[in-house]
Structure 1
């Protein structure tokens, strides 16, 4: 991951899951501050990296209908603090149709607000599901990767 800083107001923002509070680590690296927010919930977790108006949200684990409310809150919060959000799916083993619906709704909300939302680096299984459902071209954008 690149060395990324805080949100537009200098802070790292995150919707707290009711299941497990996020953990913030601030590290010094080459004279710059790196802000990373992470959270673990049963079955999945995330790390959010901010760089000006860009946010990379890296998910890991398995997500299903029990997780969509927390995922929606996480993505809505990221879009409220960054005009471009890239969802890194390189460590996601499984998503179901409710998660796909949340990704589509997030993309639509971002577009309506003049922001950008895309998925990147999907694992083979997740890529296959997104391609089979026909949403991969909409959710992925050329030139947008998580790194």
Structure 2
């Protein structure tokens, strides 16, 4: 899955209202008009601003983990990648977004779509992890 570089987080975003009540995703509940606090998406999505980048995803190899074509992923370069994490990695000169795995002591990049094969590194090939994906932002259909 190719990714497009969008840039480093440059400044804090505008804090927006966060309502105290939770919205029901099951049976409807009465709405409350009580604003609890202001929330910046930076505070929600970014732990290490100096090491955080946004990347736009192209392709559907990660769809089963909720990462879709056109989504923006938040990538933290300061985190240590571990097996099971979604990472942006450089493989043979190209960036890709995959889930980090291991097989026989060697790293493997797993797609989250059965239509795509896993990426097994051959002898002498090295994997460079650009960063760990911490969040994914996507638009809902019809918006």
Higher relative contact order (Cα pairs below 8 Å, separated by 6+ residues): 2
Q: Which has the higher strand share?
A: 2
What is the TM-score of this pair, normalised by structure 1? Answer: 0.27
Q: Which has the higher helix share?
A: 1
Q: Which has the larger radius of gyration?
A: 2
What is the TM-score of this pair, normalised by structure 2? Answer: 0.27
